[in-house]
Structure 1
């Protein structure tokens, strides 16, 4: 009598989840490898860019005596977005914006020749323009060669709606053979010429501007050398950040 053999029941594999889990871990590992590789490539490119900038600064500074502070500030400006003119806050924040804006828009030589200084006080921030760069001696007619720099100052003014005082300053050299009777009129003509340019060619609201002439009455250094007299010949574009503290 033959016996019927019972079929062995197939055992269910309770470890199949390990296959899916292993696939998931593999994909996750591959994802992080790709992310790391991409990040490393970007860092390498950024490092190469920074090294090239440092090399240019080192070459322009002459030899190996590089000003580390200047490099760090330049790299910070390259990485930092310009943002917008601070609607609120003190004049210090406004000065920072103005300096970064001019540094981004101007070449080093252009800025050195046209901008004497950027500084602030409790009332606002001042952009001191070198009058010798913008005007011929004894004249209030703007030089064509300086209009590019003036355009970049205008862009700073267009970034806000603050009041602006444009001050004319001269040295103490008496006017000779000029249509202007004295340094008062010369300084007034120069400050007015700058305002006219901003209004006519950049469509900045004329109501924002005030023109002032100080002649030779507010020197920043003694008029004892030609270098000092050149520093005193300036046009100051004064952006008012606190109307309550302004005298005008």
Structure 2
């Protein structure tokens, strides 16, 4: 009986632990979680801030140049005041002149105008986003004491025009061969925008008499103008003007001459590096828009006007 019993065999399967498969997935998962956290943080910021606060945050991370809000010709840099050494317009040492939008009035030179206006512009011109805590801006907290106020697009553009005018003035002062041409360059700001005018004077014309032949002095001034306004993106108009001296037997002579001089100026500006895409208008005004209406034959009425149109609305 005992011999007929069969042995009982018990199988025990021992399963060894799986080998190490690496943790690269953990890195990818951590990146995913971080990205989702940043995404939801962005959604929270968009939902909990106002439009003005979001603009302040954008200005903080991408600052843009600011400008003064003063009206043209009333305290801004080159705004209707003369700079450099005071003197009459007929003197070779006379001041580089910047006029009001009313072209028939020459303002009295003042040594303090440029300094006081420059200091005032600097106080307002710093970017509103710099020096502020972005968290404070997002929360709508009041600005820190002494922080500059936010500037409007019009103020920023005015500031850019002032900087361009200042760069033009400094370029003339730094060039000994241009010292005698300060009276031939006028800069002001009008309702259209910034206006640069290259005018004739007694004994110093920018074009040969009655022709479109540009003199060397005119080319030198245009070179400095391109360097000053080149960095800006404003559209440009070029307008030619003459005095009231008529052409013999040609009543249309001044119209033709002013238009041709404006066209020649355009070609010179583009050859000097100004983008032709910025051009908005080229025209001749003959003698209908004199700089000095009380004296239509004044040589200073013969001029080329370069207008940088305002972009801010």
- In structure 2, the residue matched to 1:89 is 154
Local SS of the residue matching 1:215:
coil
Determine which of 174, 182, 195 is the counterpart of 1:112.
Answer: 182
**Once the two structures are superposed, what CA deviation does each residue of 1:132-185 show, in whole Å capped at 9, x if it has no partner?**
63211111111123322110001122111211000111111012499x951001
Contact preservation (8 Å) 2:244, 2:296: no
* Aligned mates of 1:239, 1:184 — CA distance in 2: 23
- In structure 1, the residue matched to 2:196 is 127
- Runs of 5+ consecutive residues of structure 2 not aligned to the other structure: 1-83, 87-92, 95-108, 127-151
**Once the two structures are superposed, what CA deviation does each residue of 1:9-37 show, in whole Å capped at 9, x if it has no partner?**
xxxxxxxxxxxxxxxxxxxxxxxxxxxxx
- In structure 2, the residue matched to 1:159 is 231
Contact preservation (8 Å) 1:138, 1:186: yes
- In structure 2, the residue matched to 1:222 is 293
Alignment RMSD (CA, Å): 3.9
Task: Report runs of 4+ in structure 1 exceeding 6 Å deviation.
Answer: 73-76
Normalising by structure 2, we get a TM-score of: 0.47
- TM-aligned CA distance change 1:57 to 1:223, over 3 Å: closer
Larger Rg: 2
**Once the two structures are superposed, what CA deviation does each residue of 1:108-153 show, in whole Å capped at 9, x if it has no partner?**
72442430x2111232110011146321111111112332211000
* Match status 1:231 vs 2:300: yes
Local SS of the residue matching 1:89:
helix
Instruction: State the number of aligned residues.
Output: 175
Normalising by structure 1, we get a TM-score of: 0.58
* Aligned mates of 1:138, 1:197 — CA distance in 2: 19
More helix by share: 1
